[in-house]
Chains A and B, each alone.
Chain A
Amino acid sequence: MKKFFRPALLIVVLTAFFFIFVFFIKNLFCLPCQGKVAVGRKGFSLPVRLIIPAIDVNAKIQSLGVTPNGEMEVPDNIVDVGWFKLGSRPGENGSAVIAGHFNGENGKTGVFANLNKLEIGDKLYLKDDTEAALTFVVRDKRFYDSGYADDVFSQNDGVHLNLITCDGVWNEAKKSYSQRLVVFADISK
């Protein structure tokens, strides 16, 4: 009996240690999981990471400008997202805009493939390089035709974060989807 009891006890203890270790690591590195994200606009520098627990997004943020033909640039891969650096900075009064791929050239799903699954009230988190974080809450979802949409970039009646990805049907001639999905979020108060 003792012969079996000791190894079994050892396995139980090791398993317990493993779960404690996993729990510790998860809480150490998973900011939104802690439920106590440090929210503060003062001192928030350039955003480096976007975290959306509801659709399992934890992406690096690139800085984007404008293409020669007047479109907002897109990230150079499908796992990162991109902040429009000519517009408002996250945490400032105005609309900070972040775009992410819906899918990739190789058919893989992009970081914002599930953006349409976000619901009003879902939370988004932005982190800067000092680990300071901002929390935003989804207010609205809207579809736009491809083209200009000043209200996505220019709304300045509060601190906003707007996320963009493609939607609609693929237009082979234009090499683009017919619509854009924009998720509007406001700073959490």
Chain B
Amino acid sequence: MIACIIKRYFMKNLNKMKSLVWLLVFATAFFVNPLKVSAATAPDLGAADSYAVFGKTGVTNDAGGTTHLWGNVGADSISDITNLIAGQVDGTIIAPASGVQTAASAAYDTLDLGSQGTPVILNLAGNNTVTPGVYNVQASTLNGTLTLDGAGVYIFRSTSSISTSGAGTMSLINGACADNVFWQIPASMTIGANAHIEGTIIAQTGLISFGSGTSLKGRALSLTKQVTLLLNQITQPVCAAATSTSTSTSTSTSTSTSAPAAPYCPPISNQVVTPVIIESKRIDADSIFLKWGPYSGTDTFNVQYGFKKEELFYNVNVTGFSTIINDLHQNQPIWVRVAARNECQIGTYGESKLIGGPRLPSTGFASQNNNFLYVLNQIKNWLLGH
């Protein structure tokens, strides 16, 4: 009897039930599934592909830090690459890094093409899960976990500078790969201390600044400014799937799809001894002379200096074993260290040393107890009423 009543009720409201089911299906698709947008394509990075870091106007690392980069490092001038030694780079320090800026700039433009699809606005704050596609992250801050779910190309465009906080991290799952993730930043990108980012960052007009301990799986390419590093690890955006593909294809295929070879940079010989500053003296109020040695097969060096031991912000390339550093702050001593260099890389710096110290201080006055002439003078003054 009861079953009969239920059956009649369902038959009577069948159309209403169908509508409810469809509504549930849509709601589930909308709320449960990750955000899905149109497909995007990866740009050709060309000469920039083999670079972990490129800063057109330089790459600045912290002195004596533990930064390590897997990939090439480049800038327009070798003198603009500071505090990075060959041992910190599993690749090559290359300057001038010809063609990299042009290639990265072309890739930036490709990422901006309308054919990449209509971008979906995405606020990076909090935890988000996205599928391959184009996203406009505006100027939001990544402070949670950004999960990339699925194989394909992800393009994150910004309208301004963007930043991450220390809690910002990325998780790539279900075939998502850092080599297919791109950050197109028109200004600068600041990555908070201990954050983790994946993908190729291309900043058009600003710095790419890494906080202390930040890690990146990808590339940091600044088209017009510097990349600043602080105790960072930048690893190559290797995809597991890509690796298995390359091993299963023929040699000729692997060769044709491999990244363009970096320009050859001869290593600094193991025979070259780390230079030691053996003489220094102040020439005048704003000039200091220094000399170093020994000769061990090269006469080209990089002299790095600054006003604090931990802040050697300036450097000069020298051919020979001595130099005079001019135009310094009046009477300020400087901290200096020297490394051998060749046309494209800098060797190990020696211990930094304070040079151009002040004149020895005058810590005394005319003796008034034992100087006989002084006593006579005092008596004379007393008699004359002075």
Q: Which residues in A have some Cβ–Cβ distance to B below 8 Å?
A: 66-74, 84, 86-88, 93-95, 97, 99-107, 110, 112, 144, 146-150, 152-154, 156, 164-166, 170, 172, 175-177, 180, 182
Contact check, B357 vs A87: say whether CB atoms are below 8 A apart: yes
* A112 lies within 8 A of B333 (CB): no
Given A70-B358, A86-B332, A165-B363: A150 and B351 interface contact (C-beta under 8 Å): no
A176 in complex: contacting residue of B277, B332, B364, CB < 8 Å: B364
| Known contacts A86-B333, A107-B369, A150-B281, A166 near B363 by CB under 8 Å | yes
Contact B359 A87 (CB under 8 A): no
Given contacts A66-B331, A150-B355, A156-B353, contact A74 B365 (CB under 8 A): no
* Contact call A180/B333, Cβ cutoff below 8 A: no
B interface residues, Cβ below 8 angstroms from A: 277, 280-282, 285, 307, 309, 330-333, 351-369, 371
Residues of chain B with a CB closer than 8 A to A105's CB: 365
Given A88-B354, A103-B367, A107-B368, also A71-B361 (CB < 8 A): yes
Q: Which residue of A lies closest to B337 (CB)?
A: A156
- When the two chains form their complex, are residues A170 and B354 in contact, meaning their CB atoms are under 8 A apart? no
Q: A70-B331, A74-B361 are in contact. Are A148 and B367 (CB under 8 A)?
A: no
Contact yes or no, B285 A70, CB < 8 A = yes
**Contact present for B358 and A66 (CB under 8 Å):** yes
Residues of B near A170 (CB, < 8 A) are 364, 366-367, 371
Contact indicator B357/A148 (Cβ below 8 Å)? yes
Identify the interface centre among A68, A86, A112, A177: most chain B CB within 10 Å of its CB: A86
Contact (Cβ within 8 A) B333 A74: no
| Given A87-B333, A107-B368, A149 and B357 contact (CB-CB distance below 8 Å) | yes
Chain B positions within 8 Å of A99 at CB level: 361, 363
State in angstroms the CA–CA spacing of A106 and B366 once bound together.
Answer: 9
The residue in B331, B363, B371 that gathers the most chain A C-beta atoms within 10 A of its C-beta is: B363
Asked if A73 meets B359 with Cβ closer than 8 Å, knowing A68-B331, A170-B371, the reply is: no
Q: What residues of B have a CB within 8 angstroms of the CB of A94 in the complex?
A: 353-354
Q: Is the CB of B367 within 8 A of A152?
A: no
Shortest distance between the CB of A176 and any CB in chain B (Å): 4
Q: Is the CB of B364 within 8 A of A102?
A: yes
Once the chains bind, are A177 and B362 in contact (CB under 8 Å)?
Answer: yes
Given contacts A66-B332, A70-B285, A86-B333, is CB(A154)–CB(B280) below 8 Å?
yes
CA distance A87 to B358 in the complex (A): 10
Q: Given contacts A86-B332, A170-B371, A172-B366, is CB(A72)–CB(B355) below 8 Å?
A: no
* Closest residue on chain A to residue B279 by CB atoms: A150
> A106-B368, A107-B369, A153-B333 are known contacts. Are A87 and B354 too (CB-CB below 8 A)?
yes
Chain B residues contacting A176 (CB-CB under 8 Å) are 362, 364
* Cβ of A64 to closest chain B Cβ, rounded Å: 8
11 intermolecular pairs with C-beta atoms under 8 Å apart: A70-B331, A70-B358, A74-B362, A103-B364, A107-B365, A146-B359, A150-B282, A153-B354, A154-B277, A154-B357, A156-B351
Q: CA–CA, A86 to B333, complex, Å? A: 7
Q: How far is the CB of B204 from the nearest CB of chain A, in Å?
A: 40
**Chain B positions within 8 Å of A72 at CB level:** 357-361
Contacts of A166 in B (CB 8 A): 362-364
Q: Across the interface, do B363 and A154 meet the contact criterion of CB distance under 8 Å?
A: no
Contacting residue for A107 out of B307, B333, B363, B367, CB 8 A:
B367
